[in-house]
Structure 1
Amino acid sequence: MPTLFVANNRTEHMVGDLAVLTDEQRRLAGYTAQRMLSYVGEGDVLVVPHPPNDSFARYLTELMDVDLGKIRMMAPPPGRFGVDVLSADRFEDFRFDRALAAAIQETGATRLFPIIFDAVMVRLARRHGLAADTPGFGFVGQGGSDLLNSKSVFRALAGGTGCPIPEGRVTANAAATEEWLWELLSSGRCAIVKQDQHVGGYGNEILSPYDGVTPIGAAEVITVPDREALHDLVCRRWPWYSGDGRRRVVVEHYVPDCTPVYVEMSITDDDVELFGHGEMLTKPIFNGLVIPAQSAAHPGWPGYLEAAEKLCQAIRGMGYRGLISIDGIVTPAGEVLLNEVNGRVGGSTHVTRIAQHLVGPAFLRERVVMQRHFWPVPSFDQALAALRASGLAFDRETRTGVVITSDDVTGGTVEYCLIAENVEHATELEDRIGKLSVS
């Protein structure tokens, strides 16, 4: 079925206000939107923030056994925030909308598949007659996506279904936030404050009553020695925590030295099925993945999967259809806790799709996949040539090697995933990449 794919990698719906993103964060969103090239098939339409390098696009689609010439790739004119994010104003351009309508008609596309369903995508689906064949549109068409990308709503859903979650509260004002934070900090525990809607750890802040805590899932740890310091901090940071008072705030007990994990599920009319799982590499915020999760051997892992499926069955009953990621943590004490849900295409989805295609449906049992960002290289072409010359590029016969998954033309980096036989082999490949001379 021909599909309209939209690589809306960062939207107001995901991060609140696109204006608060730095130029670097918007640039990251723009080039990692290229990951969606691994989703499309021949006859599909793909809307991207800006067209990728042609040689990279041909490389990735050839790996996925798709003819790039049979994909209709389009980018709207620059908007308020330039070309790196698909902001709402870019879809309001009349000429682009007319060209998009023609592409939909010529390809026969009947459904919409964005990274995230926000109000802009809902309007787009209705305007171009894609609502009827888009799975779960009855839910997302009424703003349901707001629920499944909200950290406060997650706590309500998880609590209501009996899922194990970190101790915490959802707060609506600065006084309640300060009160709960002090309850944690005064008892010698750390806390994490989470913006209700943000991604990649950029909307989180960790507070500690003592020094020496390593941040995982946030950029830094702020030491708070007493109640007066906490009061000053909350007063100063409340507008950032709450989006100038427009959103609720999540405050949780932060357990140091946890292992971040995730499980991705596919929710259909028929059932909930496991799509993939892994561990998130943080330095200190999200910096890559290891798939499958090495914590799958942990005694608490089956309970984590059971809780995730239970949560997804409830979400399925609400009417959501599509991929959904449930994040969690493995604590030093051995607990496996759920701590977030994202009803959208996740940062791991493209890696799983690539591995499924190149290795096979049993790749979770047969291979270890590691994804990394920010490999500094002069250009994609030079990086690929170096990988091929060194024997590191993906080999279809051995079903191992490195796949470049996005190309940051202006920043001089690429994102890659490496497919290995086991953890030791993955470590060896990453070490060889680090020593590779690219010129």
Structure 2
Amino acid sequence: MPRILIMNAGTPQMSGAHLTKAQLSLAANSAFRSAWFAQEGDLIVSPVVIPADLLSFIGGTLNFHSSALRLLVPASRQSTILDDCTLLSKTVVERLKRHIRQKSDWQLYPCYSTEGVARLAAILGIPKTGDDFALQRGPDLLNRKSHFRQLATSVALPLPHGSVATDPNGLFKAVTSLKSETGTVIVKLDNGAGGVGNVILTSNKSDPLPGARDTRWVSWPSFDPEALWSEMTTASCKTLVVESYHLARSLFYLEYTIQDDASIAFVNSGSIRLRKSADRSERALIRTGLELPSDLEEEQLLAAQAHAYRFVALARDLGYRGMINIDAIFAQDGRLLFNEANGRWGGGSVLHNIAVRLLGVDYFGCNVILSVRNVRSASFRAAHDRLVKDGLIFDHTRKEGVIPLAADEKAGTVECVVIAPNRPAAHDQQHRLLKS
């Protein structure tokens, strides 16, 4: 059944009404990356034009004819966000209607199930279980950090101690009560995606820590809640979450799909990999990529899955259908702590999709999938040619090698996917990619 892929990452529901330049750039790059979900006959609705050579390479790699894909990019776009207003515009709706008349059965496959997506489904006559929940903006419950704490508490997920602040006084009380546990707290913007809305406050001199855009040394007596409140909150988001911060031994995520028939399927789990910047003034760690499967011990993975399943079951019972991922850590003291959930495509969703289509559904047992961000390259074509020249390009016979995923030509980098039979081989490929 052909699908309408809706590349609506970075919507106001996910990241707030006022996005930074970095967030806008990430949303555009997400569209290139998400093109790897495409299958023959699909229609892609994207906020940006996806290069023809990328679509051709995707088709060649995943064994389908990219000429059978169709791309719809709303005209006169002033930003790189496919919001509900644009999605429901007369021009977009009419173009979609003309296209879907060619075939009888279609599915909508959005990154984020917004109210606008549900309304579009009704207009196009493509009903989907979960649309009623989306019409009431239900998925927003699964993409807010404050709601996550509330829902996770109801199913007894292990969480860091914390509270929700809705004004500077509440922020001061939360920080004051939590700072003594570890000497470090994390303050999170309710709807900030990718850690860009988080600030870590610590009484210990520290290098940048995972999970935030900034790690700051503070003298608690001089802590100014008014200043931090003014800096972090936005016109569209006046809620902060404050938690005690725990150093992590393992950072990972778990991803599930809630099917239309209400069944829950475990999709994948991956480790989140970070590194320090070469720039000593940088106050955030650089996310280098994901590693599937996660490097958790079997007992740890089973424990995390048992807890996470309860949260996913709650999301199902509320009415949500679609993909959902949950971030967690094993702290240095061995405790399992959950951080947040996202009811949408996750960072590992594309990697899992590629692995299944190239290796089969049981790839976890005999392969390691590694995403490598920020590989220096002037363009997607240049990256591809280098991989061919160096003998690194994915080999369909051996079922291993490197696949260029998407380019950020403004930054001069490409994200690549390494497919290897084990972790040492995957890490060796990564080293070869980054050495030049």
TM-score grouping bracket, smaller chain normalisation: over 0.9
Residues 169-318 of structure 1 mapped to structure 2, 5 A cutoff: 169-186=163-180, 189-227=183-221, 229-230=222-223, 232=224, 234-244=225-235, 246-268=237-259, 269-283=261-275, 284-297=285-298, 299-318=299-318
Query: Could you report, residue by residue, the CA deviation over 1:236-293 in whole angstroms, capped at 9, with x for unpaired residues?
Result: 1214433347442211111124422101011122421210001111241543101111
Rounded to whole Å, the distance in 1 between the matches of 2:267 and 2:297 is: 14
C-alpha contact 1:193 1:205 (8 A) present in aligned 2 = yes
Q: CA deviation at 1:187?
A: 5.1
For residue 102 of structure 2, give the secondary structure of its aligned residue in structure 1: helix
Give the gaps of 5 or more residues in structure 1. Answer: none
For residue 175 of structure 1, give the secondary structure of its aligned residue in structure 2: helix
Rounded to whole Å, the distance in 2 between the matches of 1:240 and 1:101 is: 44
C-alpha contact 1:45 1:71 (8 A) present in aligned 2 = yes
C-alpha contact 1:200 1:285 (8 A) present in aligned 2 = no
For residue 294 of structure 1, give the secondary structure of its aligned residue in structure 2: coil
Which of 61, 64, 76 in structure 2 is aligned with 1:63? 61
Rounded to whole Å, the distance in 1 between the matches of 2:238 and 2:359 is: 43
Which residue in the other structure is 2:115 paired with? 119
C-alpha contact 1:377 1:412 (8 A) present in aligned 2 = yes
For residue 300 of structure 1, give the secondary structure of its aligned residue in structure 2: helix
Rounded to whole Å, the distance in 2 between the matches of 1:418 and 1:94 is: 42
Rounded to whole Å, the distance in 1 between the matches of 2:26 and 2:236 is: 27
Residues 128-167 of structure 1 mapped to structure 2, 5 A cutoff: 128-130=124-126, 132=127, 134-167=128-161
Change in Cα spacing, 1:236 to 1:381, as seen in structure 2 (3 Å) is: same
Rounded to whole Å, the distance in 2 between the matches of 1:57 and 1:245 is: 36
C-alpha contact 2:262 2:321 (8 A) present in aligned 1 = no
Which residue in the other structure is 2:280 paired with? none
Rounded to whole Å, the distance in 2 between the matches of 1:275 and 1:381 is: 31
C-alpha contact 2:199 2:214 (8 A) present in aligned 1 = yes
Rounded to whole Å, the distance in 1 between the matches of 2:325 and 2:88 is: 30
C-alpha contact 1:164 1:338 (8 A) present in aligned 2 = yes
Rounded to whole Å, the distance in 1 between the matches of 2:48 and 2:203 is: 45
Rounded to whole Å, the distance in 1 between the matches of 2:170 and 2:249 is: 27
Change in Cα spacing, 1:253 to 1:422, as seen in structure 2 (3 Å) is: same
Which of 27, 31, 34 in structure 1 is aligned with 2:32? 34
Q: CA deviation at 1:144?
A: 0.9
Rounded to whole Å, the distance in 2 between the matches of 1:320 and 1:392 is: 41
C-alpha contact 2:190 2:237 (8 A) present in aligned 1 = no
Change in Cα spacing, 1:296 to 1:319, as seen in structure 2 (3 Å) is: farther
For residue 187 of structure 2, give the secondary structure of its aligned residue in structure 1: strand
Rounded to whole Å, the distance in 1 between the matches of 2:181 and 2:159 is: 19
User: Which amino acid in structure 1 is aligned with residue 339 of structure 2?
Assistant: N
Rounded to whole Å, the distance in 1 between the matches of 2:207 and 2:401 is: 36
Rounded to whole Å, the distance in 1 between the matches of 2:119 and 2:230 is: 30
Which residue in the other structure is 1:15 paired with? 15
C-alpha contact 1:267 1:321 (8 A) present in aligned 2 = yes
User: Which amino acid in structure 2 is aligned with residue 256 of structure 1?
Assistant: L
Q: CA deviation at 1:89?
A: 4.5
Q: CA deviation at 1:73?
A: 1.1
Q: CA deviation at 1:127?
A: 2.5
Rounded to whole Å, the distance in 1 between the matches of 2:234 and 2:286 is: 21
For residue 310 of structure 1, give the secondary structure of its aligned residue in structure 2: helix
Runs of 4+ residues over 6 Å off in structure 1: none
C-alpha contact 1:200 1:286 (8 A) present in aligned 2 = no
Q: CA deviation at 1:186?
A: 4.3
Give the gaps of 5 or more residues in structure 2. Answer: 276-284
Rounded to whole Å, the distance in 2 between the matches of 1:417 and 1:202 is: 24
For residue 102 of structure 1, give the secondary structure of its aligned residue in structure 2: helix
Rounded to whole Å, the distance in 2 between the matches of 1:304 and 1:161 is: 14
For residue 304 of structure 1, give the secondary structure of its aligned residue in structure 2: helix
User: Which amino acid in structure 2 is aligned with residue 209 of structure 1?
Assistant: S
Q: CA deviation at 1:365?
A: 1.4
Query: Could you report, residue by residue, the CA deviation over 1:285-333 in whole angstroms, capped at 9, with x for unpaired residues?
Result: 5431011110244x43321110011111121111211111011011001
Which residue in the other structure is 1:100 paired with? 96
For residue 397 of structure 2, give the secondary structure of its aligned residue in structure 1: coil
Change in Cα spacing, 1:245 to 1:175, as seen in structure 2 (3 Å) is: farther
Rounded to whole Å, the distance in 2 between the matches of 1:107 and 1:414 is: 36
Q: CA deviation at 1:390?
A: 1.4
Which residue in the other structure is 1:331 paired with? 331
Q: CA deviation at 1:149?
A: 0.7
Which of 104, 110, 121 in structure 1 is aligned with 2:106? 110
Which residue in the other structure is 1:47 paired with? 45
Q: CA deviation at 1:348?
A: 0.9
Which of 168, 172, 188 in structure 1 is aligned with 2:162? 168
For residue 295 of structure 1, give the secondary structure of its aligned residue in structure 2: coil
180-189 or 416-425, larger mean C-alpha shift: 180-189
Q: Percent identity?
A: 28
Q: TM-score, normalised by structure 1?
A: 0.92
RMSD: 1.9
Rounded to whole Å, the distance in 2 between the matches of 1:426 and 1:109 is: 40
For residue 305 of structure 2, give the secondary structure of its aligned residue in structure 1: helix
Rounded to whole Å, the distance in 2 between the matches of 1:241 and 1:219 is: 11
Rounded to whole Å, the distance in 2 between the matches of 1:215 and 1:328 is: 15
